[in-house]
Amino acid sequence: MTENRTQGRVIRSYSNIYYVDTGGEVLECRPRGRLRYHDEKVLAGDIVRVSPASPGFGAIDEILPRRNSLSRPPVANVDQVVLVFSFHGPEIDLYLVDRFLILVAAADLPAVLCLNKMDLASDPEIASVQGVYEKVGYRTVIASARTGQGLDGVRDLLGGRLSVLAGPSGAGKSSLLNALSPELGLRTGELSRKIHRGTHTTRHVALLPIGQGGMVADTPGFTHLELKDVKPADVSWHYPEIAALGGECRFRGCVHRAEPDCRVKEAVGEGSVDGGRYQRYLSLLKETEAAYRPW
Ligand code: GDP
Ligand code: ZN
């Protein structure tokens, strides 16, 4: 019996049925009673041990330890969150970019930037946004789902990883996935529209195969951009360039606002920390202070 067991990844959940990709085939599985008894909910992205039953079917015996899990969308073992923004139509909102970056960092996941609709932007415009984020260490990929420019970079970004996409509706998430895997046949806005379908349907997550061994959750993440769970004192630690200087201020617990002898403000003055990022940091800090509910 045991030698018959196999391991795989849950690629789709629907009610209490899970589709497990074992490498060779996709089995339709139900969790064993023992799992249900312990109230262990199987998530898309989970690596599970299954016992094959009749051809095409199996039972999930065990969920292997997760590296992480998100609740919206319910996905486990996420490798990265890809923030998709367009330069224009809709206009890139750097405040929103930084807000997403804070939330993703607070969830302890790596964030990468995918800037789409490069066909609508000038070279200096592209270089200026890319420069700001690459300088602080974020991988930044520039593309156009429409012209196909930069798509190799996006494929490379998504290959071999499980990604959750995030970003404003209309930025081109569905178009990018379609451009990479036309067989998906996603409709325009399909990835964004899922949000509005109510909470019960968003429990049904599918992982879409993209590129070489890449998978993308079919529901965007971080759609509720609430900062209330982020501790104000932690905000600066979610800025790599500020965190790097954090220990050098005169006061411990310096939030780099009005404190004297602040290394961060000094760095802004010298231009080694981007002034725009710093101004947005101050606004987001204020917003976090107003929103934070520790209970
Ligand atoms: P989503 O809501 O993020 O999934 O965005 P969609 O993929 O639905 O794209 C929104 C709109 O932007 C659609 O009308 C697309 O045709 C258009 N679009 C997507 N990518 C590009 C691009 O690279 N350049 C231009 N000019 N338009 C694009
Ligand atoms: Zn400081």
User: Can you name the residues that pair with 69 across neighbouring β-strands?
Assistant: 76
Ligand 1 and 188: CB distance under 6 A: yes
Nearest ligand to the CA atom of 245: 2
pLDDT score of 94 more than 80: yes
Tell the CATH superfamily of the 70-223 domain.
P-loop containing nucleotide triphosphate hydrolases (3.40.50.300)
Looking at residue 203, what is its pLDDT? 65
Q: Which residue has the tokens 């970003």?
A: 167
- Choose the residue to mutate in 184, 188, 190, 195 for probing ligand 1, maximizing ligand atoms within 8 Å of C-beta: 188
By the 10 Å C-beta count (0-12 exposed, 13-18 middle, 19+ buried), 245 is classed as buried
Looking at residue 186, what is its pLDDT? 87
82 near 163, Cβ under 8 Å?
A: yes
Ligand 1 and 171: CB distance under 6 A: yes
CA 194–ligand 1 middle distance (angstroms): 16
Q: How far apart are CA 247 and CA 142, in angstroms?
A: 34
Looking at residue 40, what is its pLDDT? 81
CA 220–ligand 2 middle distance (angstroms): 35
Nearest ligand to the CA atom of 88: 1
User: Can you name the residues that pair with 216 across neighbouring β-strands?
Assistant: 163, 208
By the 10 Å C-beta count (0-12 exposed, 13-18 middle, 19+ buried), 159 is classed as middle
Strand 214-217: give its sheet, edge to edge: 140-142, 111-116, 80-86, 162-166, 214-217, 207-210
Which residues are found with C-beta within 5 Å of the ion, ligand 2?
249, 254, 256, 262, 264
| CB-based contacts of 31, cutoff 8 Å, min separation 6 | 16, 18, 40, 42, 59, 60
For every residue of 230-286, DSSP letters joined together read: S-GGGGGGGSHHHHTTGGGSSSTT--SSS-SS-HHHHHHHHTSS-HHHHHHHHHHHH
Burial 11-49 (b: 16+ CB within 10 A, else e): bbbeeeebbbbbeeeebebbbeeebeeeeebbbbbbbbb
- Under the banding of pLDDT at 50, 70 and 90, the label for residue 1 is very low
Task: Express each pLDDT in 32-74 by its tens digit.
Answer: 988 877 778 899 999 999 999 999 999 999 999 999 999 888 9
Q: Whose CA is nearest to atom 11 of ligand 1?
A: 170
Q: Tell me the two tokens of residue 226.
A: 């609430």
pLDDT score of 12 more than 90: yes
Q: Strand 47-52 to strand 6-14: parallel, antiparallel, or no bridges (unpaired)?
A: antiparallel
Mean pLDDT, residues 274-279 taken together: 98
By the 10 Å C-beta count (0-12 exposed, 13-18 middle, 19+ buried), 106 is classed as middle
- The residue extents of the domains of the chain are 2-66, 70-223, 232-291
Instruction: Evaluate whether the domain defined by 232-291 bears CATH number 1.10.10.10.
Output: no
Looking at residue 3, what is its pLDDT? 56
CA 208–ligand 1 middle distance (angstroms): 19
Ligand 1 and 209: CB distance under 6 A: no
pLDDT score of 194 more than 70: no
- For domain 2-66, the CATH class is mainly beta
CA 137–ligand 1 middle distance (angstroms): 27
CA distances (Å), origin 233, targets 229, 241, 255, 291 = 12, 16, 7, 13
